[in-house]
């Protein structure tokens, strides 16, 4: 039996993790559920799974949640700081980090310091502070098990292997809804078009990141830290069917891949059950449905975000943190229809140029860097917004 805290229970990963818990109540016990502002869903999840504690970080929703759960013994907390506290509870074995963006960093640090294993969905934590997080996990003898499908694939391929025998890894990318399109096309796409992912149903932020290939850039950085690789050892290959979830190439030239239907329940369940595997009733892959699997090069010229992510991690230091913060602001502005699709890359690049380089940031440096990069990116959005509105 694993006792789990789910940070971001009402999102795409969070709700799928609860489907896993529903499927295997003999194996998964939900101890903590948290959400930013979706009080109604959090309440219904709490009434179904009866955790010890729930957190609604939006303080204005606290009275609603408190009242709805008054007849139960569930403790109700509010505010972002509460996330850093609940992860320390002695009744938890593992924390699933399924919240979005930089907000995942501090609760993940708190959970590691409390000795909790991490099922890591929140890739931004490793993008921002991967070196710091991996060292902290080692120090506290904590396992960080990837939930991201590509990283789960690599992790599964490495079972029984030594990291020393890896030559390189291939991260597969679906290519998103705009694969094969050029910049002229991307200049005019709408929010609605960008939110239509061909293979996966996910939260809004990662869906936009997938359309811009920033998601793959973030995943390259995530993989570097998780598997202790150099950037030269990580290659992205576009695979539109999303069946081969990623591959490892070993020193003898042998390739191992992990395959499956595009369904996040599988990597979520593996992260919870690792090193074991659990029987489930999820849909199975059939070769007849996929007579062809294809592979192509990513287009770094059209999808500048992937190129920017590579250059951020090559520079190192605070640059991935700056890239991440600027991207969060740019994606939010695109979703608010304040800027166009291509402007996102411009804002990220200009923010990276504007922020001074720091080689070895501390955890508090990351927090201030994140704030500073957001401020710069917001200013750039405001300038661009005017141009965009006139052009529209």
Q: Which range binds ligand NAD by CB under 6 A, 99-107, 156-164, 167-175, 307-315?
A: 99-107
Cβ of residue 195: shortest distance to ligand NAD, in angstroms?
12
Contact 373, 321 (CB under 8 A): yes
Nearest partner of 324 among 370, 380, 258, judged by Cα: 370
Specify the 3-state DSSP secondary structure of 14. helix
Based on the shown chain and the rule CB under 5 A, indicate whether residue 349 belongs to the binding site for Mg ion. no
In the chain, where does DSSP find H-type helix?
Answer: 12-23, 39-49, 62-68, 81-86, 105-113, 123-139, 149-157, 183-186, 191-194, 204-212, 214-227, 265-273, 304-315, 319-335, 343-354, 363-391
Based on the shown chain and the rule CB under 6 A, indicate whether residue 98 belongs to the binding site for ligand NAD. yes
User: Residue with CB nearest Mg ion?
Assistant: 148
Query: Binding marks (x or -) toward ligand NAD, 29..58, rule CB under 6 A?
Result: ------xx-x------------------x-
Number of Cβ within 10 Å of residue 146's Cβ equals 27
The smaller minimum CB distance to Mg ion, of residues 32 and 96, is found at 96
6-15 exposure pattern, b = at least 16 Cβ within 10 A, e = fewer: bbbbbbbbbe
Residue with tokens 């290959």: 237
Number of H-type helices and E-type strands within the chain: 16, 11
Cβ of residue 260: shortest distance to ligand NAD, in angstroms?
14
Based on the shown chain and the rule CB under 6 A, indicate whether residue 9 belongs to the binding site for ligand NAD. yes
Query: Binding marks (x or -) toward Mg ion, 127..156, rule CB under 5 A?
Result: ---------------------xxx------
Q: Which range binds ligand NAD by CB under 6 A, 43-51, 195-203, 229-237, 291-299?
A: 195-203
174 token code pair: 């679906």
Based on the shown chain and the rule CB under 6 A, indicate whether residue 249 belongs to the binding site for ligand NAD. no
By CB under 6 A, name the one of 29, 52, 61, 123 that touches ligand NAD. 123
Instruction: Point out which residues bind ligand NAD (CB under 6 A).
Output: 8-14, 35-36, 38, 57, 80, 98-100, 103, 121-124, 148, 200, 202-203, 206, 264
């Amino acid at each position: 039996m694993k006792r789990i805290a789910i940070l971001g229970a009402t999102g795409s990963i969070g709700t799928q993790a609860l489907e896993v818990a529903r499927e295997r109540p003999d194996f998964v016990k939900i101890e903590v559920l948290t959400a930013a502002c979706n009080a109604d869903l959090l309440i219904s999840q709490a009434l179904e799974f009866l955790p010890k504690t729930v957190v609604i970080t939006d303080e204005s929703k606290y009275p609603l949640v408190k009242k709805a759960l008054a007849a139960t013994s569930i403790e109700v907390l509010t505010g972002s700081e509460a996330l850093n506290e609940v992860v320390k509870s002695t009744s938890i074995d593992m924390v699933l980090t399924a919240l979005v963006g930089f907000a995942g960093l501090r609760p993940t640090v708190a959970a590691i310091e409390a000795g909790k294993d991490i099922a890591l969905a929140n890739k931004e934590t490793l993008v921002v502070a991967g070196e710091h997080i991996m060292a902290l996990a080692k120090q506290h003898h904590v396992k960080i098990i990837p939930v991201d499908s590509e990283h789960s694939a690599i992790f599964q391929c490495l079972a029984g292997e030594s990291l020393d025998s890896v030559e390189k890894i291939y991260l597969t990318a679906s290519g998103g809804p705009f694969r094969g399109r050029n910049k002229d096309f991307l200049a005019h796409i709408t929010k609605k078009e960008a939110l239509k992912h061909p293979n996966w149903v996910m939260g809004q932020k990662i869906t936009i990141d997938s359309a811009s290939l920033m998601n793959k850039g973030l995943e390259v950085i995530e993989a570097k830290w998780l598997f202790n690789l150099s950037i030269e050892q990580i290659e992205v290959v576009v695979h539109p069917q999303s069946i081969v979830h990623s591959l490892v190439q070993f020193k003898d030239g042998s390739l191992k891949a992990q395959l499956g239907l595009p369904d996040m329940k599988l990597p979520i369940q593996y992260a919870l059950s690792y090193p074991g595997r659990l029987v489930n009733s999820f849909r199975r892959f059939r070769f007849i449905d996929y007579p062809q699997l294809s592979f192509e090069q990513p287009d770094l010229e059209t999808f500048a975000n992937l190129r920017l992510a590579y250059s951020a991690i090559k520079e190192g230091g605070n640059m991935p943190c700056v890239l991440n913060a600027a991207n969060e602001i740019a994606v939010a502005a695109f979703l608010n229809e304040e800027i166009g699709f291509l402007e996102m890359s411009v804002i990220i690049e200009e923010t990276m140029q504007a922020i001074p380089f720091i080689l070895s940031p501390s955890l508090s440096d990351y927090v201030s860097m994140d704030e500073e990069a957001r401020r710069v990116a917001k200013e750039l959005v405001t300038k661009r917004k005017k141009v965009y509105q006139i052009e529209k």
